[in-house]
Structure 1
Amino acid sequence: MIKLKNNTLGNGMPAIAVSFSNNCSVEEIKALKKQGLDIAEIRVDLFTGKIFAKNIIEELQKFGDLDVPTILTFRPKREGGNWGGSDAERVVIIAECYQYADIVDIETSSIHSLDCSEKFCQLANAILKSETQLLLSYHNFEKTPSLVAINHEIESAEVLLSAKADIVKVACQVDSNADRVVLTEMLLHSGDKNLVVIGMGGWGLITRLSFATYGSLFTFAYVGNTITAPGQLHIDATVAYLEDFYPAYTARK
């Protein structure tokens, strides 16, 4: 289990993360907390205007001041993000900000980056030694590989680090029931790993609601019109479904 501010993740109770750029007001955050927001993913690659560490820190602190745990994510285009700059620029910016976040998301592809593998490994190791949690993420927008292949991707990245990641996130395109079985098996055989597992696309939609049962730490929903991955539900729809599926979810309010 993971403790984030007033939230305990991994106890079978669903938690909802929402992605934000740099345009959410304090009033909107307060309203979203009442709607069901548990975790704010600050998507730096979606920021409007030039990106500075100062602006990122301000966004992280805005949510933190309202007791909303934050994930710092700076997603490159190869990972479905909006950042078209270099990995070298990205790693420097994250290094300047990570201590202000509760969790920092670093992709396995960044750990294996041709140009910046060493720098990302150094950054990840610094995060592992800090009070911030390291989330190591693997995304596949084309398919769900075999469980062996997914585990290899995670393990080949972790072996380059000084310790295992605090949280591992796996998000894959799901096109069949067999794909859902692969992701379910990953959760069922997770051992002591803290996992966030998501099936993307129409076939994967049910995983966004049901995987908390098997130990997935949180799911993602969207607000406004900002869908950041295929198959995401609006926060209102997500909350409504979770209230139907998890009686204790309603009782916690």
Structure 2
Amino acid sequence: MRRPTICVTLSGCSVEEMLADAARATAVGADLCEVRLDKLWVVEKPPEPVKVEDPPKDGRRRRPVYNPPEFTPQSFDSVDLAAALDAFKGGIDLPVVLTCRPERQGGYFSGTEEQRIGVLRTAIESGVSWVDLEIDIKAATRKELMSLAEGKTQVIASTHSANEPPNASEIISDIEGMEASGEIIKVCYNTSGRNSGLKLFEAAWNLKDSQLKTSIMGMGAGGDWTRIHGPLLHQDLVYSTMESGSHLSSQGRINASDLLIAWEMLQYD
């Protein structure tokens, strides 16, 4: 059974933090690193400490409370993009996916779309292995970026919906409509549990023998099912993280080491 490509989305909001995370990803056996350029334009504020409560009288253990950090946007001029790209090129051993996710698709880039397209253009011109281009970029602009990438940078065509996934046939129809938009088609939905996860699983199962290269996932409970069963579903690309903690499953994410252990236990390797 062919193992999907494992892509670790690097944590951190600075070049130094991302480079440190890339070293950890390399050590555990990841195949790709995703650099979220949009996170360079925010500053992370750690959450307030959680008040420790007395143990419940019934003796049951409570799951630790996860408080997500806050992110404060910074001005566009606060980042030296050329220097950052040079640092990533020299400091990451694995092939890299460069992404600059806009706020409208759940990202952190709060600048103008013109500025963001400039970031993506510079990313492609840097000679990076992969670039993530959202499917909702204006057609003429996206065509220009695709032409710029042709022959040197592979494209992940992505869409990230804040809505629950539709039924499997609609998911498949959306993916088939994106076929010419990139080498790999990535779709991500907001998931809330069993029903959401099953829709994504069914869509991936029905596409597993097609010629389409896909990465189907959710953000939320049940969103990690297609990641955990990526080899069975013939997923081409599975996203993971070097973060750890019980909160990951409720976000649909999975630690890269845990993912590899799961595949071994399920005899997918």
Same fold per superposition (TM over 0.5): yes
Higher radius of gyration, 1 or 2: 2
Inter-CA distance 146–126: structure 2 relative to 1 (3 Å threshold):
farther
Inter-CA distance 14–157: structure 2 relative to 1 (3 Å threshold):
closer
Partner of 1:251: none
How is 1:1-253 mapped onto 2 (pairs within 5 angstroms)?
12-20=2-10, 21=13, 22-24=15-17, 29-47=22-40, 50-64=78-92, 66=93, 68-99=94-125, 100-110=127-137, 116-127=138-149, 129-154=150-175, 163-190=180-207, 191-224=210-243, 230-246=251-267, 248=269
SS at match of 1:54: helix
Unaligned runs of 5+ in 2: 42-73
Query: What are the Cα deviations for residues 210-239 of structure 1, in whole angstroms up to 9, with x where unaligned?
Result: 022211123222224797x92212233223
Inter-CA distance 236–164: structure 2 relative to 1 (3 Å threshold):
closer
Inter-CA distance 192–120: structure 2 relative to 1 (3 Å threshold):
same
TM-aligned CA deviation for residue 147 of structure 1: 3.6
Give the Cα–Cα distance (whole angstroms) in 2 for the partners of residues 101 and 231 of structure 1. 27
Inter-CA distance 26–178: structure 2 relative to 1 (3 Å threshold):
closer
Inter-CA distance 225–58: structure 2 relative to 1 (3 Å threshold):
farther
Give the Cα–Cα distance (whole angstroms) in 2 for the partners of residues 224 and 97 of structure 1. 25
Q: What is the percentage of aligned positions where both structures have the same residue? A: 20
**After the TM superposition, which segments of 4 or more aligned residues of structure 1 sit over 6 Å from their partners?**
none
State how many pairs are aligned: 225
The answer to whether the 8 Å contact 1:40/1:69 transfers is yes
TM-score by length of 1: 0.75
The answer to whether the 8 Å contact 2:231/2:268 transfers is no
TM-aligned CA deviation for residue 63 of structure 1: 4.9
Give the Cα–Cα distance (whole angstroms) in 2 for the partners of residues 171 and 92 of structure 1. 24
The answer to whether the 8 Å contact 2:18/2:35 transfers is no
Unaligned runs of 5+ in 1: 1-10, 111-115, 249-253
TM-aligned CA deviation for residue 29 of structure 1: 3.6
TM-score by length of 2: 0.71
SS at match of 2:235: coil
What amino acid does structure 1 have at the position aligned with 2:218? G
What amino acid does structure 2 have at the position aligned with 1:183? L
State the superposition RMSD in angstroms: 2.9
Give the Cα–Cα distance (whole angstroms) in 2 for the partners of residues 204 and 149 of structure 1. 17
TM-aligned CA deviation for residue 178 of structure 1: 4.2
Give the Cα–Cα distance (whole angstroms) in 2 for the partners of residues 25 and 91 of structure 1. 22
Give the Cα–Cα distance (whole angstroms) in 1 for the partners of residues 194 and 21 of structure 2. 38
